[in-house]
Amino acid sequence: MARLLGPFRRKRKQPLQEDAGQDGMAETAADMADDGADMANADMNDADMSGADMSADDMAYDTPEEPPRRMGFKHRLLGVLYLLGLVLWPPFLRGGFSSLGRRLLAPAWLLLLLGLIGGVGWIAVTGQSLTILPGSEVVIGVAKLALPPEAKLEGDQKKAEQAQKTVEGMNRYPSGLLMAPDPALVEASAIGQMPKIAADGRQPWRAYARPYTEPADRPRMAIVLSNLGLNESLTAKAAELLPPSITFAFNPYAPNLRAQIENARMQGHEVLLQLPMEPFDYPVNDPGPNTLLTSLTEQENLRRLDWSLARVPGYVGFTNLMGAKFTSSPEHMRFLAQHLKQRGLMFVDARTAPRSVGARQMQEAGGVYAIGNRWIDQQPSGPVIESRLDELERLARGSGIAIGFAQPYPITIDRLVNWSKTLGGKSFALAPVSALVNRQTPE
């Protein structure tokens, strides 16, 4: 053990080695002559070993053993630099670059390191972290915000209050239309959610309407494109191409009605629902199984009306689907006007009957109404459509407002797109139908 520790301990002068070596050489002088140089060397080695043992014993007695020292800063720094060197220049990159593979390995490794360093730096700077969600999806989420103590104690209550406060603010599409349904504007029923007037007095027809701020001194024109939804691709094309100020009226029997209406409202179009009503030639022309009929009891008509009310949220009111006979009956339109007023909905009379009393009954009930002036594409041809649009312009110039109805024919959509681009130069304002309510005189 002394030999192993000897090189790491402080060296001392060792006179005993010299004395022992001299004595050994004197005592064996006679023998060296007989035995030769080999014996003398062996005795000298023994003397050296004895002297070394004595020296080690003296050192062990004179110098107490020191405890092992901890690794200093210099050693730790050298260790970190060594590990960093292994990362930056690993062993598999060392050596010659005679082959193409080794020449490409170095820049590939450098790009990998730069990508890792850049990613870590970006996360550190932006305060964002990676969260792995189920399904092997990686989502970048912002760091958690420090919440006030009251929010931590009453989280659910605070969330509910905040949701109620932001209904009129954040819950709007980029087009400005309120997202549907607004919880304050619906009531639950056995067949779905139906619109109602909110406790604070807000009415669905106004809440879900397209915002309109054009000057009141310009003549206003509105177009209601009806029977939408039956052809989904054509409806989507109309929502994309037509100006947002054009109002869309959806057939209640259309497939995927909720999704189609939501897409139209996202594009900025306010929405009406068509209410199936009895025509004069019913049942040859049948608007469907939930048609309001003059031959039914009020209770049955109410049940059918509720079916239409609960179809989807987000519409401003109804316009009639067929319905020449029903809208010509004061008694039955009075029943309808009262229920629409109670729910805060408007009624736009498509004027399928010359003697319609729909608008008058809505006015007498204190409700919200509008009246169609022309069907612009009863003959779906370009010249006829343009002629009817000219008539609407003359009506608007004379009375200040005009409302046209149309079908979603491709030629109608094309003509409406071109016509709408000319209105600015003619000093007309294209408005949603909700901006023209209660401004016409019922006949």
pLDDT in tens, the chain (443 residues): 455 445 445 444 444 444 444 444 444 444 444 444 444 444 444 444 444 444 444 444 344 445 555 566 667 777 777 777 766 667 666 666 666 566 666 777 777 778 778 776 666 554 433 333 333 333 323 233 333 333 333 444 444 444 444 444 559 999 899 999 999 999 999 999 999 999 999 999 999 999 998 888 899 999 999 999 999 999 999 999 999 999 999 999 999 999 999 999 999 999 999 999 999 999 999 999 999 999 999 999 999 999 999 999 999 999 999 999 999 999 999 999 999 999 999 999 999 999 999 999 999 999 999 999 999 999 999 999 999 999 999 999 999 999 999 999 999 999 999 999 999 899 999 999 999 999 999 97
Tally of structural domains, the chain: 2
**Domain stops at, among 34, 51, 68:** 51
Q: Give the three-class secondary structure for 406.
A: strand
- Given 51, 69, 92, which residue is the final one in a domain? 51
In a domain, 70, yes or no: no
> What is the rounded CA–CA span in Å between residue 441 and residue 443?
6
In a domain, 124, yes or no: no
Distance between CA atoms of residues 274 and 195, nearest Å: 15
Q: Is residue 417 one of the residues assigned to a domain?
A: yes
Helix, strand or coil, per DSSP, at residue 401:
strand
361 within some domain: yes
Within a 13 Å sphere around the CA of 81, how many CA atoms are in the beta-carbon half? 6
Is residue 304 one of the residues assigned to a domain? yes
* CATH number of the domain residue 258 falls in: 3.20.20.370
Quick check: 251 and 264 in contact, CB under 8 A? no
Domain assignment present for 104: no
Measure the CA–CA gap between 14 and 50, rounded to whole angstroms.
11
Q: H or E element: which one contains 211?
A: none
Range of the domain at 360: 204-436
* Structure confidence at residue 220 (pLDDT): 96
Q: Is 352 left (phi over 0), alpha (psi -120 to 50) or beta?
A: alpha
407, part of any domain:
yes
Q: What span, in angstroms and rounded, lies between the C-alpha atoms of 117 and 182?
A: 47
In a domain, 294, yes or no: yes
Whether the ω angle into residue 354 lies within 30 degrees of 0, i.e. cis, is no
